[in-house]
Amino acid sequence: MSDEAKAKAEDEAVTIPAQSDGSAGTATLTEGAARGETLLKVTGLQKHFPIKKGLLQRQVGAVRAVDGIDFEVRSGETLGVVGESGCGKSTMGRLITRLLEPTAGKVEFEGKDITHLGVGGMRPLRRDVQMIFQDPYSSLNPRHTIGTIVSAPFKLQGVEPEGGIKKEVQRLLSVVGLNPEHYNRYPHEFSGGQRQRIGIARALALNPKLVVADEPVSALDVSIQAQVVNLLDDLQQELGLTYVIIAHDLSVVRHVSDRIAVMYLGKIMELADRDLLYKSPMHPYTKALMSAVPIPDPARKAAKSERILLKGDVPSPISPPSGCRFHTRCWKATQICATTEPPLKELRPGQQVACHHPENFEDQAPQDVVLLSDAKEAAELVAEDALAESARTSAAVAAEVEAAETEAAQAEAPEAEGDTEAAGKAAESGKKGTESAKPTPESVKTAPEDGEKSTGSPKKSTGDAESAESTESADEEPPAKEK
């Protein structure tokens, strides 16, 4: 590393500066953000992944990974792209390198539209546009040696460097800090940081103009991250490279970037110069991201603003919210945020924001002052009042019904008493009739005599019947044998 590079690395500590108290501060555009002509221009870029179901594989929806983004990258600068996982950063990197076919939009490289170029049309451009992949373990073929991996771009492009391919590969290995004698080793013989250096050497083989680095240090240890970041910085100074670095570590992005784009749910929320973005963020989502970064220095920790906790989860990219994508979690959202999508426009030199109510700047929709949170609370209060009124009405109706039932019961009580008295009288008369129908002792005494008389004749008749039966049986007996 040169003395100037070391001095720059010492001056730019990999930390986050304290946020301002709302003022724009004295931040100016960095040198890298102002130099060079436009190398890459992206307009309305979209990528929707279809969701298909059923036997016929009919499309029932789409994942809106990238949903209309616009930005430019100037020659010699570094554009950092940050955002939460799943916001579309890696998909955007693959779109601008044409590893994925875009759904809509335009990608221009050096003024030439490369959006729909085929394999043959993209082959010459592969020399100028290269990519460093996120995972150094899966991006290297374990069956190939390092020499074969790094020399692959020369063979695919039909380029024969001076001195031969092997000599050039060994030179590239020394450039990225590896031993040239490791030419015949395999990827499993290297550590994670060394594998990432091999990927960087492969990307630099054809001396590209634009390098897209997809989270080049996310899979590495902190100590190795600093080495790789410093290596990328040194290579940019030596070779004049242009970077698009995708990451989710804000401290790393600040260390290497000239400008930074903040993505959320497939959209760019804010695109600004590094110093402006970190000292005076304008989008509420950017401010929430900055407040989440810890500051280890106790002297500067007191100057840091309070942590902003976002409510809810990130909506699904299958059915993103209408209007501003962030309005479901924003504490400044109003009705216009839910209905109208804010355009990405430059509100301050070097700072573009897509927000109706930006931070540290005049309101872009002053007529809409009712916050969605307040409206929601008011709606909840109205609903509670309506529910309470309904409960009171139900209670009043129940009281009226109970009173009517009580009156009806009281009115039916005399009739029931009259019916009870009549029933009592009828019971008494019935009792008297029953008593009069009971036999007297005299009748009880005379009854057996009458019974005996009455039962005598049946007995007699019974005897007559028996005699008649005996006579019949005697007649039926056979005559006795004569002696």
Q: Which tens digit of pLDDT belongs to each residue from 439-452?
A: 554 544 444 444 44
Locus of tokens 């050039």: 168
Contact present, 129 and 206 (Cβ < 8 Å): no
Query: How far is 255 from 303, CA to CA, in rounded Å?
Result: 21
Answer yes or no: are the C-beta atoms of 45 and 102 closer than 8 Å: yes
| CB contact at 8 A, 45 and 68 | yes
Write down the pLDDT at residue 91.
95
CA 116 – CA 102 distance, rounded (Å): 8
Helix or strand or coil: residue 347?
Answer: strand
Tell me the two tokens of residue 190. Answer: 């290297």
pLDDT score of 387 more than 70: yes
Cα separation, 126 vs 114, in Å, equals 11
Tokens of 327: 């309005």
Q: Can you tell me whether residue 17 is helix, strand or coil?
A: coil
pLDDT in tens, 83-97: 988 899 999 999 999
Strands 104-109 and 210-214: unpaired
Contacts 24+ apart (CB under 8 A), 51-54: 51/318
Q: What per-residue confidence (pLDDT) applies to 136?
A: 83
pLDDT digits (tens, 9 = 90+) for 53-78: 988 889 999 999 999 999 999 999 99
Region 207-217: mean pLDDT is 92
Compute the average pLDDT of residues 358-369.
78
Q: What percent of the chain has pLDDT over 90?
A: 44
For 331, which DSSP code? T
List Cα–Cα distances, 54 to 58, 59, 63, 206, in angstroms: 6, 9, 18, 46
Which pLDDT score, from 0 to 100, does residue 461 have?
44
Measured between alpha carbons, how far is residue 90 from residues 65, 87, 94, 96, 376 in Å? Answer: 10, 9, 6, 10, 36
User: Residue 420: is its pLDDT beyond 80?
Assistant: no
Q: How far apart are CA 68 and CA 432, in angstroms?
A: 105
- Mean pLDDT, to the nearest integer, of 346-354? 93
**What is the torsional sign of CA 248, 254, 257, 262?**
positive
Chain centre distance of CA 469: 111
| Span 3-52+60-128+208-358 CATH architecture | 3-Layer(aba) Sandwich (3.40)
- Per the model's pLDDT, the better-predicted residue between 35 and 175 turns out to be 175
Extract the tokens encoding 376. 């929601």
Three-state SS string across 36-96, please?
CCEEEEEEEEEEEEEEEECCCCEEEEEEEEEEEEEEEEECCCEEEEECCCCCCHHHHHHHH
**Eight-class DSSP state of 361:** S
How far CA 457 is from CA of 296, 462, 465, in Å, comes to 132, 8, 12
Q: Which residue has the higher pLDDT, 21 or 279?
A: 279
Residue 421 buriedness (CB in 10 A; 0-12 / 13-18 / 19+): exposed
Spell out a b/e string for 422-442, using b for 16 or more CB atoms within 10 Å of the CB, else e: eeeeeeeeeeeeeeeeeeeee
Is the per-residue pLDDT at 3 higher than 60?
Answer: no
For the chain, the average pLDDT equals: 79
Distance of CA 360 to the CA centre of its chain: 29
What is the per-residue pLDDT for 69? 95
pLDDT at 438: 52
Q: What ranges do the domains of the chain cover?
A: 3-52+60-128+208-358, 371-415
Please report which confidence band the pLDDT of residue 398 belongs to, taking 50, 70 and 90 as the band edges: confident
